[in-house]
Amino acid sequence: MLARKLAGVALPAIAVLSLFVAVACGDDPPPEPSPTPLPTYTPVPPTPTALPESDTASKTTADGVMNPITGALPSLADVVEEIEPWVVSVTTERFVRGFFSTFRDEGAGSGFIVRPDGYIATNEHVIRGANEIEVQLHNGESYPATVVGKDIVTDIAILKIDADGLPFATLSDTASLRVGDWVMTLGNALDLKGGPTATLGIVSGLGRSIKTEQGQQFFNLIQTDATINTGNSGGPLVDMNGTVIGINQAVLAEARFGFAINASIARTVIDGLIEDGMVSRPEIGIKGDDLTPAIARSFNLSVTEGVVVTAIATNGPAFDAGLRVGHIITKLDDIPTPDLATFLPRFWGYETGDEIVIEYVDGDSTKVTTVTVASDPTQQ
């Protein structure tokens, strides 16, 4: 019943995501503009308050950082000095064909060194369509860069420069990251002269999903109120220990929020791009979206959480296993999947040939089927 209704009703806020990358095999992804600049806004920490010497120890956290609520927040200059050597500026040149001539279009972004032998992480949209890419290090040296690999699903690209013995970043597993933790960005904001720009904020949310104007959707992002402007894309979001917790990606200008790719996801992608030039992902031939309470009420569903199947390949493993448009996936191997932010990281952990026991809701019935994972033929 839900499948028939879905076929004729435009569901609110449903963004289609292909688990095998929603881009036709062999086609280049559509151009994506640089992130929209936020209004000028820099979150300000609480005014430092001098504490009696006897109180200082009790106001200090385990990692030595003063609690900003009960004590004085120390200067962030030490953190900036620690991370600045491995943060880079990325400039690009594209040759765009006009009506009467071809003209040069320049772009700017950020990145950070992930290995001492010249591997650099940035956003895929920063270097998309670039004919020439140049990386400038903290010491002022500039190098031409080549693209080692890129992943449009997570918007991550890896560049390589001919240099060695470079300082490099450490990526966090973000398992202990909490809403309210202090974070900082450093990058080539607005392509301003005079070195990178640092901004301070907090983790405003975890597990966020956003959709681009081109319809591409990203999941499990870190939301922050640390100012992210055009040119910050691809740069690091770090904690107060100078450890990378995310890769700055996009902004929501009207809400003054920025979003960063979670480092726990980025680490696997970065390693795959460096080693193989691509990221291999599983595929079962479906597209899906979050089941929201509003949709559940509209269709009088028996569940309020899960992943709605919005499209399915008739020659894919999911269809062969009995899944159809309108079914709601609620568990993978008995692990609940209340939304895509939970579903995708778990699903991407499977390999070709693995069998997944999928629990799903069909109308008023809860059913179970087994799907055999295939490889993704659309990976670049």
Instruction: Provide the annotated active-site residues.
Output: 125, 155, 233
Q: Are 183 and 245 in contact (CB under 8 A)?
A: yes
Closest CA to 3 of 362, 368, 377: 362
Residues ≥6 apart with Cβ < 8 Å to 89: 108, 109, 110, 111, 135, 136, 187, 188, 191, 196
- Length of the chain in terms of residues written: 380
Look at strands 102-115 and 119-123 and give their pairing.
antiparallel
CB 267 within 8 Å of CB 171: yes
SS3 156: strand
CA distance 51 to 73: 11
Measure the CA–CA gap between 21 and 136, rounded to whole angstroms: 32
Q: Taking the alpha carbons of 331, 337, 338, 340 in that order, is the dihedral positive or negative?
A: negative
Q: Are 240 and 74 a contacting pair, CB within 8 Å?
A: no
Count the Cβ atoms, other than its own, within 10 Å of residue 97: 8
Nearest partner of 112 among 42, 49, 37, 187, judged by Cα: 187
Closest CA to 181 of 204, 208, 209: 204
Residues in CB range of 187: below 8 A, 6 or more apart: 87, 89, 109, 110, 196, 197, 231, 232, 233, 234, 235, 236, 248
